[in-house]
Amino acid sequence: MLRLCRVLERLHACTEASASNRHWTRVAELSVRFSSTKAAPRFRRMDYQDAVCTLNTLQTNASALEQVKRERGHPQLQLQAMRGFLQRAGLKVEELDRLNIIHVTGTKGKGSTCAFTEQILRKYGFRTGFYSSPHLVQVRERIRINGLPIGKELFTKYFWQVYGRLEETKDAQISSMPAYFRFLTILAFHVFLQEKVDLAVIEVGIGGAYDCTNIIRRPWVCGISSLGIDHTSILGDTIEKIAWQKGGIFKLGVPAFTVKQPDGPMKVLQERAEEIGCSLSVCPDLEEYESEGSLSLGLTGHHQRSNASLALQLSHTWLQRHFLTDPASSSPVEFSGVSSAPVIQPSPAMIKGLAETEWPGRNQTLQHSPVTYFLDGAHTTRSMLACVRWFNEVTPQHERNAGGSVVRVLLFNATGERDCAAMLKLLVPCHFDFAVFCPNITEAIATCNADQQNFNVSVENMLSRCLDNQQSWRVLNGQEEKPEAELLIRGGLPLVAERHTDTLVFPCILSALQWISQGRDSVLSDPNKCVIPVKPSINTKAAPLREAVSIHVLITGSLHLVGGALKHLDPSLNS
């Protein structure tokens, strides 16, 4: 697989002067061609990079894509297939009961809720497992032991164990391999069992009822964070349909908690709890908890307060069951209507856990004087509303501290079926001096960073989406469109597509960050980082960036964009 990476690196590096976007499409096509699961064992070297490259072949596995198409109309088949893959990997569904699982879903805030919960229980001295998605910089981030991504050696060891078992069980009738997310879910279960964690916090991927994590039979407690509209082609086009999917993680007799929801989805959750036969409680506001002084949170943003309240209820309920003499004999909690969750008094461990929780890429601020980066992976209209509120709360103090002129820059991208125009409309009142758009490509010249490769979308498609976002921004700001957009090229590489002086489109995250920072961020000025040449006319437009006392950059619209930015802005995440 290292050969694959070298081929791709040469393909990206040898772009000729006559190249156009068709060349980038060709690169994407060749990427897929070289990424067959049959070829993977031939080049296996059993090292971390090879494991990740092999994992990436599951993104474009033809049989897996056909399998997804077949199952789309019969979602119950997804869980049936997942059980089959789990068994082929040498695991039994019954074994997952030993993980003492906390299962969490929701549209917005489920990752933060899991992070709070895991940190609280770790403060009690428990050995924790934590499975989440997506990853920001390295795929190992999805599978954590005691709050830390598993090491490269451990990932490699367990990856080949699971991959080998699945490969060995392929035959004429069973020739498929699990798709990317399914494989990682199986791998997480295997890691947690082998590493003998005391509990596992499991974040749902998409939805709940038919998500592959829902093969869990007996979680100790379930949680649902704030609901909203997302993944409509899979979950449904109304918040009520989405609530039905999310409520699918409820289990008979297992206590479930949710934050305050609108009446429609709350009614659906109530019906699901009654149908399945479990209790359902609504968490109180964080201000209601009996604590000396206000509770301090390690994650900023007002919306994190409901996530913290949900985490307190999940961890409190888990602890109640854990300290029973015989947890297995605890009486199931049946449905008796939706109730208010108890207002508990947080313990010192809970208070410390909430205060020390870290969850990169969500309401995160990085200060690289004179450039300050505000990163939030908001990717729905509701989460973008929360992002804008957070940005408007934290920037005034930073601007006062600057002691001079400040230039505001938006770096944006969004993927999939998301309504980019609706999200961009929410960002207009933030009054950015520049709006910069780029695809979720970390750098245009490949460095074989397999952790962030995505073969499911062509480069041409990604760049086209950026141009659409640029045009949406212009329309929202009342700017007239030029008759034709000029593609500005130097040395044959499509660098910047321009339609107005305050909006720019770059081919990768690194080129966008380097232009925004104008050499004023020492991390991005590292001689080991490739500097892509930009035409003089584009550098002229950057005069305000060079002259300002401070540059404030909001990076949002996609967790993948935020992850790609963090790869360059926080070198410690690459180790």
Give the DSSP letter string of 442-498.
S-SS----GGG---SS-HHHHHHHHHHHHHHHHHHTTPPPPSS-EEEEETTEEEEEE
Query: Tokens representing 371?
Result: 């450039």
Amino acid at 379: H
How many angstroms separate the Cα of 237 from the Cα of each of 72, 232, 243? 15, 5, 11
Query: Would you say 521 is a known binding-site residue?
Result: no
133 is in an annotated binding site: yes
Q: Is the peptide bond before 370 cis (omega within 30 degrees of 0)?
A: yes
Residue 369 annotated as part of some ligand binding site: no
> What is d(CA 9, CA 254) in angstroms, rounded to the nearest whole number?
51
203 is known to lie in a ligand binding site: yes
DSSP states of 4-44:
HHHHHHHHHHT--TT--HHHHHHHHHHHHHT--TTTGGGG-
Question: CA–CA separation, 66 vs 301, rounded Å?
Answer: 41
3-class secondary structure per residue, 235-291: HCCCHHHHHHHHHHHCCCCCCEEECCCCHHHHHHHHHHHHHHCCCEEECCCHHHCCC
Taking CB atoms within 8 Å and a gap of at least 24, the contacts of 34-43 are 34/4, 34/7, 34/8, 35/4, 35/59, 35/60, 35/455, 37/61, 37/177, 40/1, 41/167, 43/1, 43/2, 43/3, 43/4
- Could you give the CA distance from residue 575 to residue 292 in angstroms, rounded to a whole number? 40
Is 231 annotated in a binding site? The answer is yes
CB atoms within 10 A of CB 279: 21
DSSP 146: T
What is the strand order of the sheet 221-224 is part of? Answer: 148-149, 143-145, 128-131, 199-203, 101-105, 221-224, 256-258, 280-282, 338-340
Distance CA 226, CA 262 (A): 9
Binding-site sequence positions for Mg(2+): 133, 203, 231
Binding-site sequence positions: 133, 203, 231, 362, 376
Binding-site sequence positions for ATP: 362, 376
